[in-house]
Structure 1
Amino acid sequence: MAMASRICNSVLVTGSNRGIGLELVCQLAGSPSPPTLIFAGCRDPAGPRAQELRVLAQKHKDVITIIQLDTSSPDSISQAAKIVGSKLKDGSLNLIINNAGVNVHLELSNTGDKEMVDTYRTNVVGPMFVAKDFLPYLRMAASQAADQTSMSCRRAAVINVSTLVSSIQKCPETFAMAPMYAYRISKAALNMLTKCLAEDFKKDGILVMAIHPGWVRTDMGGQEVIDSVKGMLKVISSLTEEDSGTLLDWEGNGIPW
């Protein structure tokens, strides 16, 4: 993967045991100038679904630290923040990629109270608590950055993984191919969270944006995941203040709310 310079010194990736999250950790660790610290958050670090992540972490044991982090549990997020904080040498964390999420492929007739609430908890409340509990470390990174005049991932940023089907404006053209109520609605709410955080964190010099990784079968590996993550990291590494509060796709194109 070609990145001209180090994307950041320290990064947290949630939902890192498979799909896009695993590939993000893999490409970050394998880059010519990897971050000094990569925190790979996943729900069950010792379980069978984290086997590939454990192998990857062992290969890059000086860089990757696996953190137990269940984004549907505020207590788990709070505990993860304390653990990460204890491992940060100067108390600063440059980048959070809120990748953990659930995609419920249910039409209206099959969508009940539980599906709506569970999806919202993971896709909206989880990223909100991650941003809230890790904010002191982002603030520290932003305040210690050599460049105090601009925003970037090298300074401090929160990236929320969203989707094209979160777009209310695009709904008429995308609904037939993906009539998923819980997922669409939760990701539209994630977009509003992104805008709120972008406004709130602006005073601290922390960039916040959302990114659509493309149509990737996230439970599968393979070339499409590799290409998507390459694109995502290229976009993330070149973000500026103008991109804060926006939704972009993995090629850097804007998506309307």
Structure 2
Amino acid sequence: MLNARSVLVTGSNRGIGLELIRQLLGKSKRPEWVFATCRDPEGPRGQELKGLAAKHHEMKIVPLEATDPSSIQAAATEVTETLQGAGLNLLINNAAIARLSTLESETPEDMSELYKNNTIGPMLVTKAFLPLLRKASQKSPQKGMSCSKAAIVNVSSEGGSITNVLMWDLGHFISYRCSKAALNMLTRCQSLGYSEDEILCIALHPGWVQTDMGSSEAPLTVDASVRAILKTLGHLSEKDNGTFVNWEGSAVPW
């Protein structure tokens, strides 16, 4: 069972990110701190987050632009001050963008922008919050690895699986697929690099979900996807470190 004292979710103003915040706050034993980050909390897309924050003292909205190092550092400083010496147990790198493209229409500009958001962003965010994750791991009495102790969850996609290339017939999304395949490799590297710190690192496919990015035709509701994701995160341990799993915890081929 997931029992993280503190959780941070990027891209939390809509879709899966917003539902993660909502369900974390709805748990009977909710985290002491839920950090909801997004690019523009003051914008129209930040209103639902503000509504949640007004009802839950455990929730803190933190501005974070995942492609801007100074914004990331400012967010890390704010979270560090809020935690007052405690560590961060769970970092969910959820912020991402997608662009419809084919091999013919793909451009260097779009490819660069998607890598910047979907691959480089999670790398920079993780680096900034690594001291807090290490602190959480060191202070935890738990043995081994878990998402309740210290973990990095990179929200990926089976669309980035080189084996499966999910839903090619529905959309080629070249830059999106490439950026998620690269995120998967980053996850593997993180799992090796942070194993001595006992920080669990996972790439997670949330399913094809009914969100702005996923479309209304998707078979999974946001509620069902996130409910299963939180259940899966509660079961992961060191044997899962560096793996690619779906919302139900089943292995996804690289």
- TM-score range with shorter-chain normalisation? over 0.9
2:2–2:235 Cα contact (<8 Å) kept: no
Q: Which amino acid aligns with 1:252?
A: G
TM-superposed deviation, 1:212: 0.6
TM-superposed deviation, 1:177: 2.5
State which of 176, 181, 194 in structure 2 corresponds to 1:183. Answer: 176
Tell me what 1:203 maps to: 196
Q: Please, what is the CA RMSD of the aligned residues? A: 1.5
Q: Which amino acid aligns with 1:82?
A: T
Distance 1:52 1:95 in 2: 22
**Structure 2: unaligned runs, 5 residues or longer:** none
TM-superposed deviation, 1:114: 1.1
Distance 1:27 1:249 in 2: 18
Distance 2:84 2:231 in 1: 27
Tell me what 1:12 maps to: 8
Q: How many residues matched?
A: 250
Distance 2:196 2:17 in 1: 29
1:166–1:187 Cα contact (<8 Å) kept: yes
Aligned residues: percent identity? 46
TM-superposed deviation, 1:111: 1.4
Tell me what 2:162 maps to: 168
For residues 212-251 of structure 1, the aligned pairs below 5 Å read: 212-219=205-212, 224-251=221-248
Distance 1:146 1:137 in 2: 16
SS of 1:7's equivalent in the other structure is: coil
1:82 aligned onto 2:77: yes
Distance 2:211 2:68 in 1: 22
State which of 67, 73, 83 in structure 1 corresponds to 2:68. Answer: 73
State which of 28, 45, 56 in structure 1 corresponds to 2:24. Answer: 28
Q: Which amino acid aligns with 1:24?
A: L
**TM-score for the superposition, normalised by structure 1:** 0.94
Extract structure 1 runs of 4+ deviating beyond 6 A: 220-223
1:95–1:154 Cα contact (<8 Å) kept: yes
Distance 1:112 1:153 in 2: 38
Show CA shifts across 1:71-113 (max 9, x none).
Answer: 1212111111111111112230000000000011222222111
For residues 102-117 of structure 1, the aligned pairs below 5 Å read: 102-117=97-112
Distance 1:24 1:239 in 2: 17
SS of 2:221's equivalent in the other structure is: helix
Q: Which amino acid aligns with 1:184?
A: R
Distance 2:40 2:109 in 1: 22
TM-superposed deviation, 1:6: 5.1
For residues 5-154 of structure 1, the aligned pairs below 5 Å read: 7-60=3-56, 62-147=57-142, 149-154=143-148
Q: Which amino acid aligns with 2:79?
A: V
Distance 1:251 1:239 in 2: 11
Pick which of 218-227 and 237-246 moved more.
Answer: 218-227
Show CA shifts across 1:146-170 (max 9, x none).
Answer: 12x3100111000000011110011
